[in-house]
Amino acid sequence: MGNGGLRERKKARTREAILREAFRLFRERGYNATTIDQIAEAAEVSPATFFRYFPTKEDLVTLDRFPPLIEALQVQPPGPPVTVLRGAFRTAFDSMTAEEIVAGHAREVFAATVPELVAANLRKSPGLLRETSEILAVKAGCDDGDPRLRNAMGAVFGIVTLIWLQWAHDPGMDGPAEVDRALAHLESGLTL
């Protein structure tokens, strides 16, 4: 493997070190009491390096785009929106390591329990929803402004959001499996 692969692995390790130390400090001191300088020092990087990876402290725990889902959505076969989204969530979780899922869960706990982060995630969600809608419209063979597409996305993301909130309060939950079960239930018509 050339220098490009080595460089990418080093970037991934640095990013993970920043995230790991940030969450350790958040647990110990609280989100609001933890500074960027403290995170950088704990991760053994300079504040300038921190800012290359995360423009703000908020960016450690907010998501304006979920690359594994977008990539998984792009490779799904055409079909009804709920089926395509269920397959994409399954593929996205399958592409992640257990450590990445645990780290994502830790982010979700903070995102669901710190009011400033709930608001930040709401501000950032339109980009993800727009990108998802555009890809999903092609997969479903409809216009991305079709109200049926909006309704299907609303149902799926509503369910996923409720599971994320539940998972934030129940760390023993298998979040990816629960998402799949819930979307299977939606796909089947929500029969009781």
Q: What CATH number does the domain containing 77 carry?
A: 1.10.357.10
Domain boundary, last residue among 56, 71, 99: 56
> Can you tell me the distance from the alpha carbon of 75 to that of 15, in angstroms, rounded to the nearest whole number?
27
CATH number at residue 8: 1.10.10.60
Same domain, yes or no, for 94 and 182?
A: yes
Phi-psi category of 79—alpha, beta or left, where left has phi over 0 and alpha has psi -120 to 50? left
Show the domain range for 47: 1-56
142 and 161 assigned to the same domain: yes
CB atoms within 10 A of CB 166: 13
Given a cut of 70, is residue 178 above it in pLDDT?
yes
pLDDT digits (tens, 9 = 90+) for 134-167: 999 999 999 989 999 999 999 999 998 889 888 8
Domain boundary (56, 71, 102) is at: 56
Q: Are residues 85 and 50 in the same domain?
A: no
51 and 65 together in one domain: no
pLDDT at 83: 96
What's the pLDDT score for residue 137? Answer: 96
The confidence score (pLDDT) of residue 192 equals 82
Looking at the structure, do residues 46 and 100 belong to the same domain, yes or no? no
In SS3 terms, 40-103 reads as HHHHCCCHHHHHHHCCCCHHHCCCCCCHHHHHHHHCCCCCCHHHHHHHHHHHHHHCCCHHHHHH
- State pLDDT tens for residues 70-88: 889 999 999 999 999 999 9
92 within 8 A of 72, measured Cβ to Cβ: yes
Domain count, the chain: 2
pTM, rounded to two decimals: 0.75
Rounded average pLDDT over 4-14: 80
| Cα end-to-end distance, the chain, whole Å | 53
Q: Per-residue pLDDT tens for 44-60? A: 999 999 999 999 888 88
